[in-house]
Amino acid sequence: MVRGRISRLSVRDVRFPTSLGGHGADAMHTDPDYSAAYVVIETDAEDGIKGCGITFTLGKGTEVVVCAVNALAHHVLNKDLKDIVGDFRGFYRQLTSDGQLRWIGPEKGVVHLATAAVLNAVWDLWAKQEGKPVWKLLVDMLCAQALKDGWTRFKVKVGADLQDDMRRCQIIRDMIGPEKTLMMDANQRWDVPEAVEWMSKLAKFKPLWIEEPTSPDDILGHATISKALVPLGIGIATGEQCHNRVIFKQLLQAKALQFLQIDSCRLGSVNENLSVLLMAKKFEIPVCPHAGGVGLCELVQHLIIFDYISVSASLENRVCEYVDHLHEHFKYPVMIQRASYMPPKDPGYSTEMKEESVKKHQYPDGEVWKKLLPAQEN
């Protein structure tokens, strides 16, 4: 039963110093500190349930998202949760179209990231009040089925050095054999002709796809790359950097991708991701969510389970990324068995962090940063 009026919203800048170990580095992001704007909302209901939401960032700039969340707070405070749930679309538009913030970027950029964090907290709160995980909350609106499993797919980063790419791809292909699936990720490294030329040379390693071969905003560029590589048996996977559902619509209409990668924090939370899942179904394009980072695995498991049960009803050509990293900071961490996501059973959106982890990594006053910042200055 949805209940309560939102009485408090807090947001904290939580950063994990992953750059010290080189974790998460790729061709475009050489020293990221995996971070999150961590939102907690409370209501005046007597149950004391809190909703927790995050949006994933890479360190510097998280404070900008925190400021944006605070700037949007007046749209949230004193709102009846029932009214929000009853008109999620209207609430989403209210957040993304704030007249004083719209110039920063409607339905994209920092405002969109802040909106995702707030909406993720609302979904978490609603699901906790209903006593269900988000995927079950979604499924109960429609229908029910089951899941399957299998670790048989592996991904390698490419794009910085062709000879090194060929060396590493050969090692991986030799290790996994010809029957396992190899995927490649360029993290937007190339221009269009370069992507075609580079991947033509890596085609001998039989990759299923090349992920983010060029700028995520270049829809026609992706279509050109797709047209050139599909005859080689290589698909295009993209979407983790797409601002909104309109970009996905254009990618699908242009036949610019063969694998669609939603991101649970890049779009406007569950609401906008659902519209993209439905579009992917219409175009018969498999959804293979982006995950990793801070809490992305915890979030996206709900979306991919819902997609399987209620939208696509298929596991064909579908995978969901997983990185065994930073889950220990969450109260309800993702569970993996036999290379498969296990449907979460705890109520909520799996977004709640352990308070001790938040305090320890809060930027810049947490214990970790109080030690690191003076050392970095020296």
Active site residues: 157, 290
Six-digit token string for 99: 């007249």
Distance in angstroms (rounded) separating the CA atoms of residues 323 and 303: 17
Spatial contact of 26 and 18, defined as CB atoms under 8 Å apart: no
The answer to whether 280 and 241 are in contact (CB under 8 A) is no
Q: In what order do the strands lie in the sheet with 235-238?
A: 153-157, 181-185, 207-211, 235-238, 259-260
Decide: helix, strand or coil at residue 261: coil
Q: Is 191 helix (H, G, I), strand (E, B) or coil?
A: coil
What pairs with residue 12 in β-bridges? 38
As beta bridge partners, residue 154 has: 182
Locate 351 and state its tokens: 């977004």
Using CA atoms, how far apart are residues 29 and 159, in angstroms rounded to an integer?
Answer: 12
3-state secondary structure of 289: coil
CB atoms within 10 A of CB 116: 33
State how beta strands 6-15 and 35-43 pair: antiparallel
DSSP secondary structure code for residue 203 in this structure: G
**In 345-361, which positions are buried (b, 16+ CB within 10 angstroms) versus exposed (e)?**
eebbbbbbbeeebbebb
260 close to 287: Cβ distance less than 8 angstroms = yes
d(CA 97, CA 45): 29
Among 2, 266, 290, residue whose Cα is nearest residue 129 = 2
CA distance 332 to 185: 29
What residues form DSSP beta bridges with 153? 181
